[in-house]
Structure 1
Amino acid sequence: MPTDNNADGHHLLVLQHGLWGNIGHVRFIAEQFKQRLGGRILVYRARANESGFTYDGVDICGHRVVQEIYSVIKVIETGGSIEEMKGQKLNKHKGKKNIQPDDFEARSTTKKVIQFSYLGYSLGGLIGRFAMGMLDLDGFFDQVEQGGRGEQLQLVDDYIGGKPILLVISESSCVFIHALARFKRRVLYCNIRNDLAVPFWTASFSDADPFRKLDSMEM
């Protein structure tokens, strides 16, 4: 979310892992941000969708991330420390309580979250796109179905009006694209090697089609 730097405010970065992932998968990224930017940014590794919970679908996981973001911001803005949220769990299971600001020791000084960034890899990027749309509907940027959904990655689900969810969140007229426009920088990356689940040729965007002359390629 583009905002001028303010000494009285925080910049919050939320990191989201991918399919069947956990917060350990984004530890290196978090450490790099902390080493390079120090106190200029608060880094939070989203944990509400760890492991098998990613199979609940882009929409369900997106709603969880929205809830988690609001909880994290409440902790920050009431003077708490997000480092103390380690080991806490959001309401993924029945009977588990939501994180509340009162769960953390208050600090003498508090600051508002005035800048917000989100980084997710693989399925985490799709979860983030949905979550940003929900936040936009809530007016977040102005201030600063149940069951298994594995078929969503195959574009064979019926999310709304006969359209799969990945098509819905990519349409230029929808709130999900509108939410992306709120961010000053939008970056997509893909791994050149060592990603067996989502290889380069299916994860990348390109103006050129390397497979247009497939018959002439030596494979």
Structure 2
Amino acid sequence: MESISGKADHLVVLVHGMWGQPSHLEYLSKSLRESYDQDQIHILVAKSNANTYTYDGIETGGERITHEIEAEIKKIEESGTSIRKLSVIGYSMGGLVARYAIGLLYSAGLFKTVEAVNFTTFATPHLGVRAPITGKASQIWNVLGARTLSTSGQQMFLVDKFRDTGRPLLHVLADPSSIFIRGLSQFRHRTLYANILNDRSVVYYTAAISSTDPYANLDLVQLHPLTDTDSVILDPSHPVSHKTPTTPPLLSRLRSAATTTVTSIPWAFFLTVLLPVGTVFFLTSAGIQTIRSAQRRKLHDSGKTGVQVEKYRSAPFMVDELRSVADRVYNAAANTAGGEEYLPTPPPEEAEREPLVKGSRETLVEGKEVGDEAGGSEKWPTLALTKEQFEMIDALDGVGFTKYRVHITTVRHSHAAIVVRTPWRPGFGQGRTVVKHWVEKFVV
């Protein structure tokens, strides 16, 4: 956490992901600070949801982060500076936690006095982490994965029932009439960065909020990168197109087959020897962490951790319910004052934003995503997603995101590289290009 020494009225909140810790976002924080001093922005790297605390679920994590943001704003104001702007950045699962917190802040009325400026996610599973493939292997993964990461696993695999809705939390989080989408729509700029390759933690379709994956076989497509990004970031308006298929020469095919065989040997050893041993340790650890997570959530729900849970859960999370409560309070006050029995209730401010949330994709504001892969004429196979996931895509695209597809090729696993999670690691240079691009687009 930064010392409060500057006069910045813009609070920037960074939220890490699953199994994460504040140090994972150190490169993001330092890059921002190198461009903007303490009189321009105040940076809060959230720490209340670190390490195994991320097992406790998106709701619990979101409440912790909300409490942390409110406490930070109070501390800044006590130092003599008023916060007038807010930006929120989420990495991996941290993007989901951030979206939940934004809904709570919206419900609390924060955005009546604080301008929401930038919302950005890096490799965030907006649609969950369910494997969009039919078949036994996929079913086993979806079932097993949901049961090894405690509450967070159930929520990200879409098998939970959020409160009394009977729906998965992520589905509610993307409901156009929820405080979460209404809060998200307040931000002037909504941006996401999604790896198209080698992200085994958060695959492309869910990070990019897409029903297709044109990048499953890069030999069949032509990528269209932005200029001055070393071919790392694709043009959001036309990222990819079909390539005319060609048959490679025989020698090239033989070399490719030989390379595949050689590189598969370490993976064969991993799958047959190391994986079974690692699985035992992982499942044992997961069981222990699930028990500990349940204990932490019980303390959290009872209000014994310093977070005023009742404050966050007493308010309705659907805007229609909020309107209903407001109407009842207004009418009761009017009747008590002897006013006319049928005084009309003025339409709430949120109604003016309704076209943004529910409007067609063709009417989104300039610069925002149109359709799955911007460009219009290209057709791609639709993934085997659930009904809820398709609805989530429609709702989130309805709000409008600028989507930057990221092509990192210098590491086998791009999830950490996209935010330069460990700056000392070789091969993370392309991640620095991504962060540089984000900082340049950041609006103060």
TM-score range normalised by the length of the shorter chain = 0.7 to 0.9
Q: Which residues of 2 match residues 1-219 of structure 1 at below 5 A?
A: 10-39=9-38, 40-79=40-79, 110-144=80-114, 148-149=150-151, 150-159=153-162, 160-206=164-210, 207-208=372-373, 210-212=380-382
Give the Å deviation of 1:143.
2.6
Cα distance change on mapping 1:27 and 1:210 into 2, 3 Å:
farther
Q: Deviations over 1:103-141 (max 9, x none)?
A: xxxxxxx21000011000111111111111111111111
Contact 1:9 1:114 in 2 (8 A): no
Opposite residue 50 of structure 1, the aligned amino acid is: A
Give the Å deviation of 1:17.
0.3
Give the Cα–Cα distance (whole angstroms) in 2 for the partners of residues 44 and 192 of structure 1. 29
Q: Deviations over 1:32-55 (max 9, x none)?
A: 110111231111100000011111
Cα distance change on mapping 1:43 and 1:193 into 2, 3 Å:
farther
Opposite residue 125 of structure 1, the aligned amino acid is: G
Q: Indicate the larger mover: 148-157 or 205-214.
A: 205-214
RMSD between aligned alpha carbons?
2.2
Give the Å deviation of 1:162.
1.0
For structure 1, list consecutive stretches of 5 or more residues without a partner in the other structure.
1-6, 80-109, 215-219
Cα distance change on mapping 1:9 and 1:203 into 2, 3 Å:
closer
Give the Cα–Cα distance (whole angstroms) in 2 for the partners of residues 190 and 48 of structure 1. 26
Opposite residue 45 of structure 2, the aligned amino acid is: R
Q: Deviations over 1:134-180 (max 9, x none)?
A: 11111111133xx9412101100011321000000101111110001
Opposite residue 71 of structure 2, the aligned amino acid is: S
Q: Which residue of 2 aligns with 1:87?
A: none
Q: Which runs of 4+ in 1 moved over 3 A?
A: 208-214
Give the Cα–Cα distance (whole angstroms) in 2 for the partners of residues 58 and 177 of structure 1. 15
Count of aligned residue pairs for this structure pair: 176
Corresponding residue SS for 1:111? coil
TM-score (norm 2): 0.38
Give the Cα–Cα distance (whole angstroms) in 2 for the partners of residues 191 and 15 of structure 1. 19
Opposite residue 32 of structure 2, the aligned amino acid is: F
Give the Cα–Cα distance (whole angstroms) in 2 for the partners of residues 196 and 212 of structure 1. 20
Give the Cα–Cα distance (whole angstroms) in 2 for the partners of residues 187 and 64 of structure 1. 24
Give the Cα–Cα distance (whole angstroms) in 1 for the partners of residues 380 and 29 of structure 2. 34
Give the Å deviation of 1:210.
3.7
Cα distance change on mapping 1:58 and 1:212 into 2, 3 Å:
closer
Corresponding residue SS for 2:88? strand
Structure with larger Rg: 2
Give identity over the alignment, percent.
Answer: 36
Give the Å deviation of 1:213.
9.7
Corresponding residue SS for 1:44? strand
For structure 2, list consecutive stretches of 5 or more residues without a partner in the other structure.
1-5, 115-148, 211-371, 374-378, 385-444
Cα distance change on mapping 1:41 and 1:9 into 2, 3 Å:
closer
Corresponding residue SS for 1:113? coil
